[in-house]
Amino acid sequence: MRTLTLVGVGVGPGDPELLTLKAARMLREADAVFAPSTAADKPSRAEEIVRAATGVDARRLVFALDDSGGVTPHRTAAWDEAGRAVLDAFSTGADRIAFATLGDPNVYSTFTYLAETVIALGGEEHVRVETVPGITAMQDLAARSGTVLTQGREPLALIPATADEAVLTDAFTGTGTVVVYKGGRRLGDVLEAAAAAGRAAHTVIGTDLGLPTEQIIRPAEPGVIPSAPYFTTLIAPPPRRAGRGGAL
């Protein structure tokens, strides 16, 4: 019996140099490589990172990446079609299929839905799912902006800006660093919540990290940036006591 494997490969947020050696090997050794895209005729970020880092051409799978309405018929149809494309590749001879995904495949990734779909549609076929970790946008922004994510006893909260307001407020009034993903349209509200919790001074925002369009901003004042593109990450560390080991 054949062993069929679907591997979610994290390719980092944008800079091809942040794709790991293991990710590069997995992509080169796979029988087929796919990458998510918003349209069949539109190259995706993941696809471009894979090409720049490894020379491998990934096949596009179209997902409703910009659909913000939950489990919509559009999104469900896209998951199913992508799942069928992967199963077709298995049935035409591929034993090992890689799916390139931005950042890490276990952090807010389309890979989760693809893997669930392939398992559900797989029927008789036994498909093993694996993941290869990738550098997250949060880590890249911390490095590029010189921001320490956590020290000593501080917790770390990663929250999508689409979460309930109470979730954001709780995190900002807590003792740890808050990282906000998917912040684009709600950035103004997120910044206000950060400022209300006394975090404006050290808040940093990164858009298109690792790409020529990259921007890193320290807003300091709320309301200055009402919105930003989807590929925006915010880090708001807690107020820290000065001095070495202040958070121990």
Ligand X SMILES: C[S@@+](CC[C@H](N)C(=O)[O-])C[C@H]1O[C@@H](n2cnc3c(N)ncnc32)[C@H](O)[C@@H]1O
Classified as helix, coil or strand, 127 is strand
Distance CA 101, CA 35 (A): 7
Nearest partner of 211 among 8, 44, 28, judged by Cα: 44
Shortest Å, Cβ 209 to ligand X: 4
Binding site for ligand X (CB under 6 A): 13-14, 102-104, 107-109, 136-137, 181-183, 206-210, 230-233
Shortest Å, Cβ 41 to ligand X: 22
Contacts made by residues 223-226, CB under 8 angstroms, sequence distance 24+ = 223/188, 223/191, 223/192, 224/191, 225/187, 225/188, 225/191, 226/187, 226/188
- Give whichever of 127 and 158 is closer to ligand X, judged by the CB atom: 158
Classified as helix, coil or strand, 101 is strand
- Give whichever of 43 and 239 is closer to ligand X, judged by the CB atom: 43
- Give whichever of 4 and 8 is closer to ligand X, judged by the CB atom: 8
Contact indicator for 204, 235 with CB cutoff of 8 Å:
yes
Q: Percentages helix, strand, coil for the chain, rounded to the nearest 5? A: 35, 20, 45
Shortest Å, Cβ 123 to ligand X: 29
- Give whichever of 105 and 237 is closer to ligand X, judged by the CB atom: 105
Shortest Å, Cβ 109 to ligand X: 4
Shortest Å, Cβ 201 to ligand X: 21
- Give whichever of 172 and 231 is closer to ligand X, judged by the CB atom: 231
